[in-house]
Structure formats: structure tokens, C-alpha cells
Amino acid sequence: MKNIFIILLAFSFVSCNSQNKNAEQVKSTSKKDTMDFKIVKTDAEWKAQLSPEAYAVLREKGTERPYTGEYDKHFEKGMYVCAACENPLFTSDTKFDSHCGWPSFDEAIKGATIYHKDTSYGMIRTEVMCAKCGGHLGHVFDDGPQETTGQRYCTNSVSIKFLPAK
């Protein structure tokens, strides 16, 4: 039973870390770009504001464990905003169940995110970051619903906050 759990966990991690083929979407960010964010704080200020888990993901580019996030199976109507700065990122209309263990969206709000080529862990992926504060949200892949955008924004629950529709 333990071996099955380990295999399922490994499969989930790989499914959300598959190679992204949409290279033209990638925009490389540099040290200069980080100074262009509307919200710039010191590490101490971010640590004081965020939980340790949120800090690890948003500021240190970590990843929460699959199937543990608050928003993986959450499908209420509303808006998802950056957990660090409340920048609107995704609408609930773009959320879908990708079965990868993390919240998935097929489209971000125009101008809400920026992209960075991520070559960590021997893979080539596209990192998604909040355009307002530079917080790490997750990665975008080209294996989303073909009937919409074909994209899957694989997002850490701890990096977003849900605001219900009024």
C-alpha cells in the first residue's frame, strides 16, 4: 500500500512538471525586472506578512505537496487573487479539474502574470509569477483543455486567495 502511495505521489509530481512546449510565451526576467514590480518588499517584510508555507512558495519558488492545497477541488464562483498582494489573477470560470493535485486554470487575467523560463530540476518549464509583486504562483503547460486555450496554469493553493462572487 505504501509503494502504491509513493508511485501515485511521484506520478502527480511529474504530471504537474511536464515539459512546456509553448516557448514563445516565455519572457525571461532579470534582476532589473524585479525592480519594476509595483510592490517591492524586503525578505523580512515578506516573512512578517506571509505564513512560512506561503513565503516558501511565493518568495522562494517552492511547491506545495499535491492534493493538499485548499483550492485543488474548490469550484465556487469568484476570483482568485495573489496571496501576497491581492492582484486579481484568475476567474473561477477558467478553473478546471486537471487531476494533477494542484488548482488548474486555462487562462490568467490579461496582464496579471509574467513568465520566466525555468530550467530547474533538469526540465524546461515556464514559471508563472504575479506581475504586481513577483510572487511565484506555479507553472503553465500546454496540456490544458483543447476546447478552450490548451493551457494549464498549475498553481499552488498557498500562492492564491479566493474571493467569492457577490
User: Sign (positive/negative) of CA torsion 119, 46, 135, 82?
Assistant: positive
| Residue 136 CB coordination number (10 Å) | 22
Quick check: 3 and 107 in contact, CB under 8 A?
no
Verify whether residue 16 is a known catalytic residue. no
Tell me which long-range contacts 34-40 makes (C-beta under 8 A, separation of at least 24). Answer: 34/134, 37/131, 37/132, 37/133, 37/134, 38/132, 38/133, 39/84, 39/85, 39/132, 39/133, 40/133
User: Annotated active-site positions, please?
Assistant: 154
